[in-house]
Structure 1
C-alpha cells in the first residue's frame, strides 16, 4: 500500500524539504534536482508508488533518531539507472547498485553496520555482536516520492519540449527523417551559392551530400526519382540472382552508406510482388493423395539444409501459374525490347520439365516454358515457371498437376490474343530429359524394351546397323499423336494416354545436354 506523507518546504527558495508520515520522517537537501530522461528508457520504481527515476540527481538525506546523513546519487549509464550512497568521510565509504533504490538502501545499511562493528571491535576485541538484519525502503532514502521536485522536473521538461533531442536518443525512422529534412532544407542555400559563383550556361548539379553525425557517416543522394527506382530495381535483381537475404542486405547497408536502406529496398520489393500477384495469379495444387517415398539411393542435387527443410514441409503441395497470364504480361515487354515484332505472326513456345533430388526424402519437380523467337534460351531469366511441386515424377501426379496447363495449351492451339487485340499463331514444343518425356508420353518405363519415343524399334535391334547388306541407320518418326491417343494400349511400350496430345510427336525433343550424356 502506498504510504501517504506530508511535505514541508519552500522549494526552490529553500532547497531543504521535510517529509513526514505516521511511520517515519526524513529531511532532504536537494543538491541537484536532476532531469527525467527520454520516455524510451525512463525507469520507474515498482508499484504501488511507480515513481519516475531521475537522471543526474544528488540529494543529502537525514533520517532516524540519531539523524544520520547520507548523500544519494542517481545517474543513468547505458540507459539504465545506477544508484550510489555515500555514508562516510572516507572516499571508500560508499556503495553502488544497479538493481533498485531499495537494493541500494539495504546494501548501505549492511555496509554501515559492518563499519560500526569494526570500530567497536577495535575498542573492545572481546566484544561479541551480531550484524543487525535491518531493512529500509530506498524510495524514501532517495526522496523519489517528493512531489515538489517531481513537478519542477516536469515543468522543466515542458519548457525544453521543443529543444532538439540528441541524434542518438531518437528512433531510426526519426533519424532518417531528420537527415532527409536537413538535406532538403540546405539545398536551396547551395543552389543560391551556385548562382553567385557560376555562369548561367554552366550546368552545375548537386549529386550528393556527405556528413557525419557522432562519427557515423551519412550520405544523401540527390538524384531523379527514375534513377532512384532503377537503382532499387537493380539491387533487387542482384539479390534474387545471388540469394541475398533481407538480414544480409541490412548488414551490408549498415556498413556501406552508399546503399539504400534495407526497408526502402523491401518496400519496393513488396510493390513488385503486389503488381505480379495482380497480373499473374499463383494457384495452389493439392497432391496429397499422390505422395510417394523417394528412393534414398538417388544422387542428391541440393544439399542446403534450409532449402531441404522448406521443401519437405510442402510435400504433397504445389503451385501453378497460367501460361496465358504470363504471355499477356510478357509480350509487351518483348516487343519493347525488340525480341518480338508483329510481322512474325507466330509464337514458338517450348515446354520443359525436370525433377531434382532435394536431400534424401523428397524430389522437387518444375515445369517451365520459354519463347523461342530470337530469345536467348540459355539464360535463366528467359524461362518462366508454370508449375512446381514437392514430390516425384510419375504419370498420376503429373496428370493431376498439369491438368490446368494442358487445358490452356489446347486453347492456345487456336491462337492467342494479346492486350492490343493482336492474334498470335502458336506453335508448341516440349523438351526434357528422356525420363520426363517418356512419362508425359504415357510410357511404362523409360528403359522399356520398346524404348524409342518416335518409332517402334526394339532393344534387340541396338547396334545392328546392317541387315541383308542393307543399312539400318535411316530411322524416321513412324508414330503420330492421333494413333497413340486411340491405340496406346496396343502400342508396345505405352501404358497411358499422352499428356500433351496437342503437341505433334515431331516436336517432342530430348534435351541436348541429356542426349549427349
Structure 2
C-alpha cells in the first residue's frame, strides 16, 4: 500500500442537489443554503495564500465534519459590509451561538475551536469549514456573476472597459484603458480652471484634493492649462500700458494768481 497522501475528492451533483460530500484529511458534508455572488472585481476579496480562493457575498453553507467519536454541524455565512467580508459561524443544537471575524476564515475557525474543543490537533481549516475550496460551487457562483453582469447592458452592445480600481495591501490603484480623448481632457482641465476662478478655490487647496482623489487632474496640468488660457486671452484682448508721467512741468517761480493766505491754506 502506498504511503503517499490521498488526494482530496468529492461526490456531488450540484446544483441539482445542494448536498456535497468532500473527502480530504477528513470527511465533510456540505449543504448549500445560499451560494452567494461575487462582488465587482475591484471589491472582490480572496482567502489567504496559498489557497487564494475568491470570497463570495451573501453566502450561507451548512457544514458537518467529525473527529474521534465526535460530530459537529455548523452554519457558515459571509457578508460584505462596506466592502469588507464578515465571516460568521453559527453553532449549537439550534445554531444559537455564533462567532464572527472581520479578518479571515482562519480567524473565525480559531474562534470556534477555542469554544468547542481544547484539542488543537482537531482544528479544521477555515477554508474547509466554509467550503470555499469546492470548485463546483465556485463555478456556479462565477456563472451567476457573469449572467448578472449581462443584465446591465444589451448583449449586442460593444462593452469597452475604460477604468479599473483595485486595492493591493491597502494601496489604492486607478487604471485607465484605451486612448485618451484629448478634447475631453482639455475640456476637463478648462473646467477645473474655471471652478478655481469663479468659486475662489485656492490652488493649494486643489492640490490637496488632487492628492486624495486620483481621478482629478493633477496640479501641473491645471497650471499649464491656466497659462495657455492667459496667453490666448492676451491675444484676444491686448493689454496696453499707459504712461501717467505728467508732460507739463509747472513753473513754481511764477507769481501766483491767488495770494490770499487764507484761501491758499
TM normalised by structure 2 equals 0.63
Task: Report whether the alignment pairs 1:13 with 2:1.
Answer: no
Q: 1:245 matched to which residue of 2?
A: 205
Counterpart position of 1:102:
106
Cα offset for 1:66? 3.0
1:61 to 57, 60, 63: 63
Q: Name which one, 1 or 2, has greater alpha-carbon Rg.
A: 1
Kindly tell me the number of residue pairs found equivalent between the two proteins. 206
Q: Could you list the per-position Cα deviations for residues 76-95 of structure 1 after superposition, in whole angstroms to 9, with x for gaps in the alignment?
A: 11111111111113564211
* Superposition deviation, residue 245 in structure 1: 2.7
The structure with higher relative contact order (CA 8 Å, sep 6+) is 2
The answer for the alignment partner of 2:37 in structure 1 is 35
> Could you tell me how far 1:75 is from its partner in structure 2?
0.9
- How far apart, CA to CA, are the structure 1 residues paired with 2:152 and 2:129? 34
Mapping of residues 263-302 of structure 1, within 5 Å = 263=217, 267-273=221-227, 275=228
1:246, distance to aligned residue in structure 2 (A) = 1.1
Q: Which residue in the other structure is 2:234 paired with?
A: 333
In structure 2, the residue matched to 1:511 is: none
Match of 2:140 among 135, 144, 152: 152
Q: 1:238 deviation in Å?
A: 6.1
Counterpart pick for 1:73 among 50, 65, 77:
77
Residue 18 to residue 78, structure 1, CA distance change in 2 (3 Å): same
Question: In 2 relative to 1, CA 50–242 (structure 1 residues): closer, same or farther, beyond 3 Å?
Answer: closer
Matched position secondary structure for 2:217: helix
* 1:161 counterpart (149, 160, 164): 149
Q: Cα distance 1:148–1:246, how it changes in 2: closer, same or farther (>3 A)?
A: same
In structure 2, the residue matched to 1:132 is: 119
Residue 143 (structure 1) aligns with: 131
In the TM superposition, 1:64-463 aligns within 5 A as 64=66, 65-89=69-93, 92-113=96-117, 131-134=118-121, 135-164=123-152, 233-237=193-197, 244-247=204-207, 263=217, 267-273=221-227, 275=228, 333=234, 337=237, 339-340=239-240, 371-373=241-243
Match of 1:45 in 2: 47
Q: Distance in 2 between matches of 1:63 and 1:241?
A: 63
Q: Is the 8 A contact 1:87 1:112 kept in 2?
A: no
